[in-house]
Structure 1
Amino acid sequence: MSPHPTPTPARTPAVRGPRTPGPGRAALRAGGRRGLIELRQSFTNGADLVSHFLWPVLLLVALFLLRDREFGAEGIPFGTFALPGILGMNIAMGMVSMSQILTADREDGTLLRARATPYGLRGFITGKVVSVGGGLLADLAILLVPGLLIVDGLTVDGTADRLTLLWAPVLGMLATLPVGAVLGSLAGSARAQGLVQLPVLGMIAVSGIFHPVTALPEWLQWTAQLTPVYWLGLAMRSVFLPDEAAAAEIGGSWRLWEAAGVLGLWAVLGLLVAPVVLRRAARRESGSNLSDRRERALRRSV
């Protein structure tokens, strides 16, 4: 045996390359990029630009003409009361936008192509959330910025109001966009969208957007409180209206904790149910179904 042991050669540390994201994360990134592209295209397309600006312009004209009307013992101008609620309503209308987009993508085969790609459905949904959610935020800015100049009495005071202005739209979209995805998955065709929109319009009708919900019968007040539209409108009114305006609300207060709780419950239920319904809708799609729909569309156009 040698008196001097042979030294062990030093190990060369392994050189690791850049970490490659997993397929699921890559699908989310691809979906996010696709959503941003679709959002940018919606502001460069003439028809989409009309849809972005026409509805806010009509609302602003109506609010300007009714800006001096007052209601209730509080003497709050109609425009001052209605504009924050309309902002909440616009967020909730994302249900309709999401439903229409998913129905159209199912009819033209986009959903079928997404299903055929690994993790394609996840990226597809991510893209739709980014494009629809981004469009909703842009529509809010289009309505809010000139609205603050036209309507008097709207202020954002204090940190609490600023925080509510941040969490209410985000939580509202989480509560309503999955509902729109479910409605779009259940709609048989674009022609059935009229029936799909009926429950959304019903929510708006009883939500107290244009008048205090306390003016409605008690059973309708309870119905309104089950919908996300009412709580979105309430949260937005709490941001822009003075504290004394809460006297026109149920219980004489803004009830922001209840608003966050109900919207959060809608968000959790929607995020649990929507993926299941979407996967089932995607499994029902096939090339033969797409061909049948195209043939029926051609026969109707002849």
Structure 2
Amino acid sequence: MSPTATAWRAGWSRGLIELRQSFTNAADLVSHFLWPVLMLITTYFLRNVSFGQSGLSLGALALPSILGMNAGMSMVSMSQHLTADREDGTLLRAKATPHGMTGYLIGKIILVAGGLVADLAIFLVPGMFLVPGLAFGDAGAWLTVLWVLVLGLVATLPLGAVLGSVFVSARSQGLIQLPVLGLIAISGIFYPITALPEWAQWIAQAFPVYWLGLGMRSALLPDAAAAVEIGGSWRPVETAGVLVAWAVLGLVAAPFVLRRMARRESGSSVAARREKALQRI
């Protein structure tokens, strides 16, 4: 077996082990359930609120949008894992192993993607009973959900790796979360984007979160619901095009940034970060 294949196999095994451990650790379990439960509560209160004269409930519009939002948030999860492992020396140990960085990244992709699927299931299964009128029984709808989710992960996970390489400590992750929350607010997740100012619509369309939400809505909502979207259309070609563009950008930038970050890692830098963290405590 080639060294690369061995690294991929080790990364796969590592990712499955870490994913399994995340469901046996109390803190990780809270993380898995807290956000889906909060989103379920939000959806519950929106289920009987109508949007204008469209006849559509905000709950029906929000549920598929939240699926897309969670896929976009995998970028933040990837960044947090990478930054934490860089700070505690895990990344340095991976670097010291032949093809260790490849195995490490494969493991993190399995961990984040697997955790995302679990979180989506925790939200979606009860949500199917809360909000009527969605196309849960249509095989074509689930196929659309699948390709949007896969393409969304390819678009966002490399970006998360880039962000995790840029920030040197877990405390700095707050600098990522605030802009992401602002982006979610203008991306039509909890309220149709056409109700927002035009400048906000243009900003939202430049990033993957809006297109992930739009793709999920196109899968699960009736065709008539497209009337509340920009241009009155689901724009599947544009959705795929923007997500592919972000995927290409991330896949090109991530290896370069990760190699540069790995070259700068050393025992002294890890020790300095640890000493700084102890001083804060």
The normalised TM-score by structure 2 is 0.97
- Partners of 1:157 and 1:41 in 2: CA distance: 33
**C-alpha contact (below 8 Å) 2:128/2:136 kept by paired residues:** no
- Partners of 2:80 and 2:37 in 1: CA distance: 22
**C-alpha contact (below 8 Å) 1:53/1:142 kept by paired residues:** yes
**C-alpha contact (below 8 Å) 1:99/1:182 kept by paired residues:** yes
**C-alpha contact (below 8 Å) 1:92/1:173 kept by paired residues:** yes
The answer to whether structure 1 residue 77 and structure 2 residue 93 are counterparts is no
Which residue of structure 1 aligns with residue 248 of structure 2? Answer: 268
Aligned amino acid, residue 102 of structure 1: L
Q: Indicate how the Cα distance of structure 1 residues 246 and 207 shifts in structure 2: closer, same or farther if over 3 A, else same.
A: same
Which residue of structure 2 aligns with residue 161 of structure 1? Answer: 141
**C-alpha contact (below 8 Å) 1:187/1:196 kept by paired residues:** no
- What are the Cα deviations for residues 122-150 of structure 1, in whole angstroms up to 9, with x where unaligned? 11000000000010011111110100011
Which residue of structure 1 aligns with residue 237 of structure 2? Answer: 257
- Partners of 2:189 and 2:92 in 1: CA distance: 38
- Partners of 1:79 and 1:105 in 2: CA distance: 38
- Partners of 2:38 and 2:143 in 1: CA distance: 29
The answer to whether structure 1 residue 186 and structure 2 residue 198 are counterparts is no
- What are the Cα deviations for residues 80-134 of structure 1, in whole angstroms up to 9, with x where unaligned? 1101000100111101111110000000101111111111101100000000001
Select 2:156's aligned residue among 170, 173, 176: 176
Aligned amino acid, residue 47 of structure 1: A
Count residues in correspondence: 281
Aligned amino acid, residue 32 of structure 2: H
Aligned counterparts, 1:67-216, within 5 A: 67-156=47-136, 158-216=138-196
Q: Give 1:296 shift.
A: 1.3
**RMSD (CA atoms):** 1.1
Which residue of structure 1 aligns with residue 274 of structure 2? Answer: 294
- Partners of 2:131 and 2:125 in 1: CA distance: 10
Which residue of structure 2 aligns with residue 60 of structure 1? Answer: 40
Select 2:4's aligned residue among 24, 27, 42: 24
**C-alpha contact (below 8 Å) 1:156/1:239 kept by paired residues:** no
Q: Indicate how the Cα distance of structure 1 residues 156 and 149 shifts in structure 2: closer, same or farther if over 3 A, else same.
A: closer
**C-alpha contact (below 8 Å) 1:106/1:112 kept by paired residues:** yes
Unmatched 5+ stretches in structure 1: 1-20
Which structure's residues are more often helix, by fraction?
A: 2
- What are the Cα deviations for residues 128-173 of structure 1, in whole angstroms up to 9, with x where unaligned? 0000001001111111010001111111465542321110111101
Percent identity at matched positions? Answer: 66
- Larger Cα-atom Rg: 1
**C-alpha contact (below 8 Å) 1:66/1:78 kept by paired residues:** yes
Aligned amino acid, residue 262 of structure 2: A
Unmatched 5+ stretches in structure 2: none
Aligned amino acid, residue 297 of structure 1: A
The answer to whether structure 1 residue 243 and structure 2 residue 208 are counterparts is no
- Partners of 1:203 and 1:172 in 2: CA distance: 16
Aligned amino acid, residue 13 of structure 2: R
- What are the Cα deviations for residues 6-51 of structure 1, in whole angstroms up to 9, with x where unaligned? xxxxxxxxxxxxxxx1001110110011000000000111110111
- Partners of 1:113 and 1:158 in 2: CA distance: 47
